[in-house]
Structure 1
Amino acid sequence: MEFLMTNELSILRWVHILAMVYWLGGEWGVFQTSYNVTNRELSLEERKRHMETAYRIDILARTGIVLLLPLGLHMGKLYGFVPFLDGTGIWWMWLFFAIWLSMTWMAFIKRETAIGIKVTVLEEKLRYPLILALFIVAFMAFGGNGPIVAGEGSHWYPAKMALYAFALCIGLFLRLVMRRWTTRFQVLAQGPNAAEEAALEREIAQARISAYIYWITIAGVCFLGAVKPF
């Protein structure tokens, strides 16, 4: 326990790096797998197997992106940027994100059931107020106001928070595309359907463009955390 307390920041930084790696690597895996999901030359069963692989890869990326925020806030508390998490605040913060992560895994495990889809939609709705709050708090910090304490030499922290919120926006769209895979393949299982195939290809083409922006954003988050330029 003494070791954990003494090296708290270093351990948090290590886990933060791991979460970032799984986020970036997982998104690349899903991106590559999507080519076979939309390949009409493959059988429907083969395409569904690739879709299953994509989901299994994506859960690691989803886990990483959920963990990044509480890890960042916890480190921000140690840096002195997030004073409102002192005392029991840090435990309430981790409880909230533990529930969020549990919902993410429940949605993955039950993804082809009605309850799984409901949990997925609920988890997505949770992100909207969270994204809005992150943007507001980040921009308030640049003006020297709000719960985040940042000044000259530490503006990288709210900037990283805002960039993370933007990444969550892109992630919402990518999650929507993946959620539609399940319903579209249920229709395709009933027989050939040109409209569903076209919609699937169109959505994944849009998702691939979003993925490039996603990776640039993730790289920006990494840069701000590592270099702390301003």
Structure 2
Amino acid sequence: MVGKHPGGNDICQCVAYARYETLLPCDKIKLFWKEDVMEIYMHDVLRWAHVIFAAYWLGGEWGVYNASTNVANAKLALDDRLRHMETAYRIDILPRSSIIWMLPVGFNMANDLGLSPVSGVWVTVVWVATAIWWCLIFAAFKNRGTKLGIKITEFDDKIRYFVIPSLWILGGYTLVTGKLLFVGDDVGGTYWFATKLTFFGFIMIIGLLLRYIMKDWAVAFFRLREEGSTPEIEYIFTSTLAKARKLAYLYWVCIASMAFLGVTKPF
């Protein structure tokens, strides 16, 4: 919507400002510039963020996988392999961040549509909790390769042990009863968001399995530094990558499928 600024003056020609208004079913931002007003719905901003996070999640995982194939290449010198490992770490912070920020964005958007079991002040709680969670993830990234980094990563895993069943409970309740847990509202036969919640939990399980499998690389790298390249050590790299490859393919398909479900909303 474009219209005249009610109090247009010279200041309006050089200053842009935003003001938030409550709308149903979502919020609206008004941007004033040179006496014109442009309204941007917050739901659209969240949708944009959702697309960005999904892209970095899926694309980032592909980048990590490709960097990891060079880490397992026995023909490369140790320094080269370590550089590829560092590249994988730097890429990995993007999907690790994106996957958790999908949660508050998704709940916020679904709340606008009346489909979220997390509503009202609890949407804000999810945003704050996610921000704290992300700080832990970033701290683990900054302290990678240290005992502190390992401890933070282990705590990050434990958070997922809570999040995964929570998603299954929230989504599963709606799929079984047709109502929103805690809220009690009927979803009117609209089950795509509940399905996404349940599916999201399954995808996070795959992510945990990949983490568990790749932990063997830490041991392999320690031995590689101490003993040099041996068939036994190289087998750890190649066998671990082979196991991870199958899960990675499933992971990518599931991420793409969940994105398709969110865009098309087929049921």
TM-score (norm 1): 0.93
Counterpart in the other structure of 1:167: 203
Which of 227, 231, 241 aligns to 1:194? It is 231
Q: Which has the higher helix share?
A: 1
The question of whether the paired residues in 1 share the 8 Å contact of 2:117 and 2:170 is answered with no
Deviations 1:210-229 (A, max 9, x none): 01100110111111100000
Match of 1:2 among 10, 19, 36: 19
2:94 aligns to what SS in structure 1? helix
Whether the aligned pair in 1 keeps the contact of 2:168 and 2:201 (CA below 8 Å) is yes
- 2:171 alignment partner in structure 1: 138
CA drift of 1:153 comes to 4.3
Give, in whole Å, the separation in 2 of the partners of 1:184 and 1:150. Answer: 53
Checking the alignment, whether the CA contact within 8 Å between 2:213 and 2:243 is kept in structure 1 is no
Q: What's the RMSD between the two structures over aligned residues?
A: 1.8
Query: Aligned-pair distance for 1:19?
Result: 0.1
State the match for 2:38 in structure 1.
none
| SS of residue matched to 1:143 | helix
Partner residue of 1:127 out of 143, 160, 164: 160
Deviations 1:126-164 (A, max 9, x none): 101210111122111112242375634420001111111
Count residues in correspondence: 229
The 2-side partners of 1:182 and 1:3 are apart by 49
Unaligned runs of 5+ in 2: 1-17, 22-26, 29-40
| SS, match of residue 227 in structure 2 | coil
Task: Tell me what 1:224 maps to.
Answer: 261
* Stretches of 4+ aligned residues off by more than 4 angstroms: none
Query: Which one has a bigger Cα radius of gyration?
Result: 2
Of stretches 16-25 and 176-185 in structure 1, the one that deviates more from structure 2 is 176-185
Taking the aligned partners of 1:8 and 1:180, their CA distance within structure 2 comes to 44
CA distance in 2, matches of 1:155, 1:178: 35
Residue 147 (structure 1) aligned to one of 182, 189, 209: 182
Going from structure 1 to structure 2, the CA distance change for 1:139 and 1:178 (only over 3 Å counts) comes to: same
Identity of aligned residues (%): 38
Q: Structure 1 residues 107-116 or 186-195, which shifts more? A: 186-195
Q: State the match for 2:64 in structure 1.
A: 30
TM-score by length of 2: 0.81
Paired letter, 1:96: A
Of 220, 232, 245, the residue aligned with 1:184 is 220
